[in-house]
Structure 1
Amino acid sequence: MWWALAGAIAIEVLATLALRASDGLRKRWWAIPVVLGYVASFALLSVSLSMGMPVGVAYGVWSASGVALVALLARVLFAEVLTPMMVAGIGLIIAGVLTIELFGALG
């Protein structure tokens, strides 16, 4: 189930970066990897859920990983701004998801 979630994250990140590369879908051919990527990502997310992963875990890891990876890769690929405060915010998102997941497992 974790392999499906990892695939969902990777594909969603690529689809989001393709959306950025599309320049607001003005470069229309980028719509193909965007749409196919999001469909494939949700399909793999669905696989991880159908294999028994709790939705809170799957969505928390998926969204936090996606935010962090897109922000870092957009900095590298598109020279987007990534301030120290933004890096701190990414850290807080990840810490929040970990806190929810770890304490949720204890409760």
Structure 2
Amino acid sequence: MMWLILAGAIVSEVTATLALRASEGLRKKVWIAPVAIAYAAAFGLLTLALSNGMPVGIAYGIWAASGVALTAVGARVFFGERLTVRMMIGIVLIAAGVFVIELSAGGH
């Protein structure tokens, strides 16, 4: 259950960040509420995962790393931003790191 909550936090954070990009520095006012709601959801869900016993090092590490990788992919898909070979290698390394962290989490 904690992993699903953490996944929700990650999706919320990526959604908020991509909405922030779509808002063009909050100049497009229609995006302000989605940005605020998604960031609030991200932090709320991260808090819930931590309060259910997920170690902070694991939760934050996976949340931050996954957010970086998914935001880069989302920026490519939705905004046509560059995704270089080096960036793709970085995303693969992030995924490997998240996998190792998850394996070493044991019962969590």
With structure 1 as the length reference, what TM-score do the two structures score? 0.87
SS in 2 for 1:41: helix
Alignment of 1:27-106 (within 5 A): 27-99=28-100, 102=103
Aligned residues: 105
Identity of aligned residues (%): 62
Match of 2:8 in 1: 7
Kindly provide the CA deviation profile for residues 20-65 of structure 1, in whole angstroms up to 9, marking residues without a partner as x: 1001111122111111111111000000000000001101111111
Runs of 4+ with deviation above 6 angstroms: none
Paired letter, 2:96: A
Contact 2:66 2:98 in 1 (8 A): no
Cα distance, 1:89 vs. partner? 1.5
Of 50-59 and 63-72, deviating more is 63-72
Q: CA RMSD in A?
A: 1.7
Distance 1:103 1:36 in 2: 32
Q: Say which SS state the counterpart of residue 80 (structure 1) adopts.
A: coil
Structure 1 residue ranges without an equivalent (≥5): none
State how far apart, in whole Å, the 2-side matches of 1:56 and 1:22 are: 31
